[in-house]
Structure 1
Amino acid sequence: MSDENAHVSVDAIRAVSRQLVRELGFMGGDFAGTDLPPSAVHALIEIEGGCVTARDLAVRLLLEKSSISRMLRKLVEAGAVQEEAGEEDGRVKRLSLTASGRKRVAAINAFARARVSGALGRLKPGQDLAVLEGLQLYVDALAAPSAVHPAAPAAAIVRGYRPGLIARITAMHALYYARTSGFGQRFESVVAAGLAEFCNRLGNPGNEICAAMQGKEIVGSVAIDGEDIGAGTAHLRWFIVDDAMRGSGSGKRLLDGALAFADETGFAETHLWTFSGLDAARHLYETRGFVLAEERPGTQWGSEVLEQRFVRFRQGGSAERLSVVSDT
């Protein structure tokens, strides 16, 4: 490529970037259907994922600590965000959304999804994936690591079985739920047996498992089981991320990838079972269209909990897609 062509390419990208900023509303007026500035909208979306501190927000939003402090003070005063002292260090404040904040984020997500869905609907088949891949490449190139703003841990999302997957996913479940819910051997055995049986069916249509990979290590998982509930219904199972990856966005990407697979495969509904008390996970499910359909006491995990079944109906041909690498 000649220097002249390279110059034209750079100017063309700059022009498109400016237009994208204008179309997204960064130049003024209501942003994402709210009266909030863009930084506050992004902060609320990050806090929604759970396990976030002010320091985390500074890293993810590339803002100075003083700017984050002022923004959080306004969000707390507005009743959208609440602060809670951390269990290990009371000086570290964990951030979470209030009921008002969750309502506001739901409206933001609905507005953004409508904008994206409308734009994707005007593309030709296959161009949506090209848009996603192009934007991801561009963002990755812009976000070069720096000493000032260290990048949050990144994980690649891949499909399919790989050696050690059953053991690793079982271990993540066993360790996390032993610490947070007091589950023991019975829970671990149920997870291991169910996952092993499912992996024997991975070759069947409608079944898929995704793993978040950091290097060669599995740091998260989610699966779609298309056979164990009934025709036209997908079962979302074994959704978890390693403790070190919480807040990195890996969980959102795993969930979006699984739901994209379910929609593309043609399942009319996707169901998942969880239990009461996992508030951060529930908020994430609800932002993806899941609604609570059933509650009942259960002891299958070794101690009694209030089991909950959530249902999500297929998005009408406009499911968000994720760049997921198929394992071959």
Structure 2
Amino acid sequence: MEDEDEKVFMFAGYTSQQLLLEKQQLIEKIERLGGEIDDSPQWNMNCTHVIAHRYENFNAKVLACLASGGWVVTKRYVERSYKNGTWFPTRPFICNEAVRIHRELKQENGGCFKDMKVLFMLDSEPRVKAYTDVVLAGGGTVIQNKTFKDLIKNVPGVDEITHIVVDPYILSNVDPKNKDFLTFKRIWSERGVNIRGRFIYYRYFFDYLRWPEEQKTPRDYCLFDQKVVSMAIEKGDFRRPSNNDTTESANKTNNSDANSLSSNSTRTPPTSRNCETLNQTKNPSVNGNCDKISNEKRKESIEEPQPGKKIRFYTRIN
């Protein structure tokens, strides 16, 4: 848990005019203390500290910093250090106990996603970019520029691609990628690949980073699990997202930060007064409802479902 000698800071959530002024004051203090600033909108792999205005918004930089084992801190870390004339130890100023847990995991295991080779096939480009940064920050590998047609033509082994992240909507026969998706799934299965946990819902990364104490795995987010489909309906993700969807809640929140990945989950993250100590209280997650159809009705068309509405999806669970 030792602090880095060279400190590189980024900011998360400082977007309003008032916050930009506060951010500039923090930048001046950091520079006077000998720290470096990266004020670019994209994640920097050299970043050691993210100053989060509101940790619970789970800005993309916050998630990437958690994955990297870096420090997500409140502004008080800078203010107290500046008043002291030298850097305080970082640990007392972390935003959440998850920061400590991920930092320890990074030191023990070398990266929370280090064994993953991930192919993102999401319709939302901002979401792909954000989660690509998260996986890379966690030591994983991201496969680029592949379609299901490419995979059908040149079938990869699980040593080449370990996980494929797709929109839950792909289970619907009205999704244009549904046919190729099912074809590749069948081919992979016929070659002996256990597809359970290979095709996953993107919220695995979000939930794993948010609640590390729950030790979630990709298999918990298998797209062929009815509970996962129900979760996607509940979260509003069982629809085709647009490239304007830059938040976990598909822009249902009023967060002004374009890089935010905040969730509309009903659970409250373990935060504390001043966002600096742990509160272990958690509320149960909410599951939606989902129906599978019979083979006799496979030719029926289906509507794009709304949250809370029963759906039918066309795929066989292996």
Report if TM-score (shorter chain) is over 0.5.
no
TM-score under structure 2 normalisation?
Answer: 0.27
Richer in strand (by share)? 1
TM-score, normalising length from structure 1?
0.26
More helix by share: 1
